[in-house]
Structure 1
Amino acid sequence: MRLPIDHFVILVPDLEAAGAAFEAAGFHVTPQTRHSAAMGTANRCVMLQGSSYIEIMGIVAETPANATWRRLLAEGAGIRGVALRSIDVDVSASKLAALGIAVEPVRHFSRMTEYGVLRFSIARIDPSATPGLQCLVCQHHTADLLWRSETMTHANGARSLTSVMLPQASSLSAFPMDESGHGIAVAAGAGKLSFSGSHAQHHDLRSVCGVEIEVVAT
């Protein structure tokens, strides 16, 4: 079993401010949408070529389902989640369990967008296994509504995510991730996202989002 990286979650206290900061850095950021009421969360996304993306997420209502997210947010904004992609989340959850990695029951949820209802299934990995992070396995049922050409075009020329540095990188060592498919390297360090793009640039979003952004000319 190999699980490619699907997306990273940047958890923030002010979703509108965080989205505006990414927009000021030249990214196309999708409009705010809310997940199912039970989830109590909302997001804005930076969609990328190569089937990956950045999810900027905030909490809009306290629910049992977002208890871990709230605990992580109390530690500060930043890269707090890693989603691994699966074509069958039930099978992947079973295989992870067989490897001794505790996985919560599969959840099915959705969020409404201007293009229609996005539907997902996820299985969260026990957060005790990944200190400082919430990791999960994600299956997209409506990928065509999420990756759209207009949302993957960014004014700053960014095309794809190439590397991520985060303090909790060692928490991922137990997982069978396949990073080669999208060329994403994960390493230990302060929160930083690097993208391939048309020209080099740097954006410091630490005060709002807890991360730095680097676009490397390729």
Structure 2
Amino acid sequence: MLHLPIDHVVLVVPDLDRAGQAFEAAGFHVTEKATHSTAMGTANRCIMLDGTYIELMGIVTETPSNLPWRTLLDMGQGIRGLAFRSTDISASGKELTQANVAIEPTRHFSRETPQGELRFSVVRIDPAETPGLQCLVCQHHTAERLWTAQSMRHPNGAVGLQSLEVPEIATLYRLAAVFNDGGVAVASGDGRLVLAGHQPNSFDLRSACGVEIEVVGQ
């Protein structure tokens, strides 16, 4: 088992509307659909948690930028991406380079929401470094507009991400050596998320999203 500073978990799905509806039926508050840039060709809906979130990502238009995501989706829906938290994206990029982890140049993004403009910077790790997963580092510049009290209030009582299981854990050991201040447990498994919450429950969302979710009491 590893411990990594997970900013968010990306579930790549073939039908974003169906995936969002499945999470809503399970008692989660899911953000409205947001479309990314034309170049990215993707859209998402998010389940915001204390300090982390689950991103449901769908392909809107095939573009060169989303080829890695489409390749992963061809392998099956579910946990196909992990984003690690950074408070200094430049420093994180240098740390990865020093550890001989291949990365892409830093990219800066923004999008408008009802709460205002969201701004964030990311460094993508070369997919060849983590077969089966697209990993990246993310720094949020306007976190207060993303983690709002309303978005984090879930009828099923879920609060925060405790652990996750991915089949491709062996590819993450090199990254764990770089990000040695992690707080979320990552274990080997077949697509499972464990959340802390006020009302213990479990949800099988494999048909719509490729994951199982367990909510355990705090």
- Give the TM-score normalised by structure 2: 0.94
Q: What is residue 27 of structure 1 aligned with on the other side?
A: 28
Residues 179-208 of structure 1, C-alpha deviation per residue, up to 9 Å, x if partnerless?
Answer: 654xx2100011011111112111110011
Give me the CA root mean square deviation. 1.4
**1:178 Cα deviation after fit:** 4.1
Q: State the alpha-carbon separation in 1 of the partners of residues 110 and 77 from structure 2.
A: 24
| Residues 1:115 and 2:112 are matched in the alignment | no
**Higher mean displacement: 192-201 or 20-29:** 192-201
Aligned position for 1:177: 179
Name the TM-score, length of structure 1 as normaliser: 0.94
Amino acid at match of 2:30: V
Q: Note if contact 1:41-1:58 (Cα within 8 Å) is conserved in structure 2.
A: yes
Percent identical pairs in the alignment equals 57
Structure 1 residues 178 and 157: CA distance shift in structure 2, 3 A: farther
The answer as to whether partners of 1:3 and 1:85 remain within 8 angstroms in 2 is: no
Length, aligned pairs only: 214
Query: Does residue 1:144 correspond to 2:129, yes or no?
Result: no
Following superposition, the deviation at residue 110 of structure 1 comes to 2.0
Could you report, residue by residue, the CA deviation over 1:8-65 in whole angstroms, capped at 9, with x for unpaired residues?
100001111000000101000000001122111110001011x111111111111111
What's 1:76 paired with?
76
Secondary structure at 2:23 match in 1: helix
Residue 37 of structure 1 is matched in structure 2 by 38
Counterpart Cα distance in 2 of 1:114 and 1:63: 27
Quickly say closer, same or farther: Cα 1:56–1:157, change in 2 above 3 A. same
Aligned 8 A contact 1:47 1:53 in 2: yes
Residues 173 and 212 of structure 1, relative CA distance in 2, 3 Å threshold: same
Three-state SS of the structure 1 residue aligned to 2:161 is strand
Tell me if the contact between 1:35 and 1:109 (Cα under 8 Å) persists in the aligned partners.
no
2: CA distance, partners of 1:115 / 1:204:
32
1:3–1:86 contact (8 Å) kept in structure 2: no
- Superposed CA offset, 1:115-158 (max 9, x none): 12211111100110101000001111111110000111100000
Q: For residues 28 and 215 of structure 1, what CA distance do their matches in structure 2 show?
A: 15
Which runs of 5 or more structure 1 residues have no equivalent in the other structure? none
The residue number in structure 2 matching 1:57 is 57
* Runs of 4+ in structure 1 over 4 Å off: none
Specify every segment of 5 or more residues in structure 2 that has no aligned partner in the other structure, as ranges: none
Question: What does residue 7 of structure 1 align with?
Answer: 8
- C-alpha distance in 2 between matches for 1:110 and 1:20: 26
Residue 3 of structure 1: CA displacement?
6.8
